[in-house]
Structure 1
Amino acid sequence: MNHQVEAIAPTNAHSAAEAGGSIQHRTYRLLREMIEDGRIAPGERLLEAQVAKSFCISRSPARIALAALCADGIIVESEGRGYLVAGAASGDRAGKPAVLDKLEITSAPQWQRMYAELERELCTRVLFGSVRITEEALAQHFDVSRTVARGVMARMHSVGQLSQDRNGHWVAEQVTRERIGHLFEIRRLLEPTALLHAAHHVPREFLEAVRARLVRSMEAGNRGGAEMDTAETDLHIDLLSHCPNKEIVLALSRTQVLFVPTRYLRDPYLEIPYQLISDALTEHLQIVDDILAGEPERAAQALQDHIREADTRWMLRFETIRRMKQPNFPAYLTALNAG
């Protein structure tokens, strides 16, 4: 019997990936619920291909969901293949494949369903080198029309994630230390000024809602990609959008590409240490508290310090990939140069 799992409505209007990215989150949540209520027993085996087939999703969100469950200690890597559910296994189920009901986790529009997977794939690839996307192969990979594939790439182009070369091919340029440094320099120069201007215009109700979300995430220990993406959007996009100097806001929009990897902190190529995520949320809270206390200058200095620390945290990804082998390329991507 085929069941339909309803889509989670996106709460972040700035991220087209929010709705699409929820596929991996829903997969994680569904598997966790099945484990916690006993439908999947301790010692049973979960495989990426099995999860993808049972839930009617591609292997990438299945892989990310399983990695997140492993990071949370709910499942453990098997010496053979896949993962084993943590806990004392009964004799007859140890190592046996888990039985998964047929579930369809597909209700978002086509472009949303593929946006997050493509975005996450590109976030990883551009750390190693530039890549070219073949539109026809992309459409075939996601089983969508070329019109849908072209629309997704156009959206990514509008936020600076893709460009077109002289032949009209879609290209994701390699992310280098130099480029990241330049983007953070723009932020250091402009964000504190934007905050000083915005502090006099941002509604107190908005600030209190931002603070409540931060405290809730910190107290619950929820420091994953979704929580960090919300925190980054609240402070660096929504709050600063109250700056009356729209030229500053426009200039800062070019730096928002820095926030994209934050959505995929469970990905082994994009993750940063848990403690650093906690530190970042604490820094956000200090900035918001300073504004609420009527101390915009102190908030601006705290923001300056936060951006400096964020620069250091971002650069850790370059150290991570130096120790890792690049995963196999999907058919729609072609390497243009070595990292």
Structure 2
Amino acid sequence: MVRMQQSQQHRYEIVEEVLRTNIASGRLPEGLVLLEGPIAEILQTSRAPVQKALQRLEVDRLVHRFDGRGYLVGPPESRVGPLRKEIKSLGLDIPEAADEALQSRSSWERIYDIVETDVAGCVVFGQYRIVENSLAEHFGVSRTVVREVLSRLQERGLVRKNQSSHWIAGPLTAKTIRDHFALRRLLEPPALIEAAPLVDRDQLEALYEDLKERECVAFDDGESLEAFESRLIDICVLTTPNEMLAQLIRDNLLPVLASERLLRQLGLPSDRAALTEHRLIAELILRGAVDAAAAMLVRHLDAAMNRNIAQMKIVAVISEPSSVAAYFTRVEA
């Protein structure tokens, strides 16, 4: 059942509940291929909240990735093959309250997820200026709405104002990566220790088994590796009862995970060593060795930082992709 106070929920939470309800009812059958684009179109939202909703459903084993685009409905051990149907033809059950909540968001909320994704995806290529007028024209909104979006991005550390009061995003450099990972080392291990007694053991055991299986097979899918990272953080770190700590961790992770996604999209390989690091963290928590798990997390973060910086040096010689949003203006150093 969709919660009553949907106006206070994030968009991805509303999308998640709609999908969860339709999976439970069988309207979205086991094996059905779920793609972000068609779901976003039906719910009249951007892809970003749909992506996060699917990742959260994956953690709960209601959907899983496969050797193709999107997700399949059902747990990873399901033997049902991909069922490709137009999701529009299935007649999703979208409660009126959920539909109203998705459509009645203020204008800044309607575009925030898209702008956040665009910003996080470009900063690896350098420093960009965001002109308020250009952003407003791009989305067909007022400058008041644009300022609200940029102010919230500033709160999360994704943009800043320079001495000329221009909005600036990036650059994400080796130094800023080190700074982000320094914060990860400070924030995430204590959060893991606090979260350990509250961890959903079934979810953690499922993650552990999935990691073991992946270690034993050829693995070239960087997106799946990123999904493992997200699952580990969601299950073992963000379960901390300290909501302020959890939010700091989420905000700090935004540019880090965005840069890793972009590196995979550019064809740079993922590192299988991360799988073993993730598996050891999960195994240690399952064994009750929480302090050892926190120490292993620190080792993983140090290794991940070095891997990320090494690949950033490769990106430095790659030209800016055409996918950078039109409302960004490159600022030469």
TM range (shorter): 0.5 to 0.7
1:296 partnered with 2:290 = yes
Give the structure 1 partner of residue 39 of structure 2: 7
Q: Which residue of the other structure, out of 47, 50, 53, is the alignment partner of 1:19?
A: 50
Q: Which residue of the other structure, out of 299, 307, 310, is the alignment partner of 1:305?
A: 299
Give the structure 2 partner of residue 192 of structure 1: 189
Report if the CA contact (8 A) 1:21-1:116 is conserved.
no
Letter matched to residue 174 of structure 2 = R
Report if the CA contact (8 A) 1:17-1:112 is conserved.
no
Cα displacement (A) at 1:310: 0.5
Separation (CA, whole Å) in 1 of partners of 2:184 and 2:175: 14
Cα displacement (A) at 1:133: 0.9
1:134 partnered with 2:131 = yes
Cα displacement (A) at 1:288: 0.8
1:281 partnered with 2:282 = no
Give the structure 2 partner of residue 175 of structure 1: 172
Q: Which residue of the other structure, out of 308, 313, 316, is the alignment partner of 1:314?
A: 308
Cα displacement (A) at 1:166: 5.7
Unaligned stretches of 5+ in structure 2? Answer: 1-36, 54-64, 71-101
Cα displacement (A) at 1:307: 0.7
Separation (CA, whole Å) in 1 of partners of 2:125 and 2:299: 29
Percent pairwise identity: 31
Report if the CA contact (8 A) 1:16-1:112 is conserved.
no
Letter matched to residue 141 of structure 2 = S
Separation (CA, whole Å) in 2 of partners of 1:165 and 1:21: 31
Cα displacement (A) at 1:169: 3.7
Letter matched to residue 174 of structure 1 = P
1:324 partnered with 2:318 = yes
Cα gap change, 1:245/1:137 in structure 2, threshold over 3 Å: closer, same or farther?
closer
Separation (CA, whole Å) in 2 of partners of 1:116 and 1:239: 25
Give the structure 2 partner of residue 252 of structure 1: 249
Report if the CA contact (8 A) 1:194-1:243 is conserved.
yes
Cα displacement (A) at 1:317: 3.3
Deviations 1:180-219 (A, max 9, x none): 2122122223422322232122231232343355457666
Separation (CA, whole Å) in 2 of partners of 1:149 and 1:195: 36
TM-align CA RMSD: 4.0
Cα gap change, 1:210/1:168 in structure 2, threshold over 3 Å: closer, same or farther?
farther
Report if the CA contact (8 A) 1:130-1:335 is conserved.
yes
Larger radius of gyration: 1
Separation (CA, whole Å) in 1 of partners of 2:52 and 2:241: 32
Give the structure 2 partner of residue 267 of structure 1: 265
Matched position secondary structure for 1:306? helix
Unaligned stretches of 5+ in structure 1? Answer: 10-14, 31-107
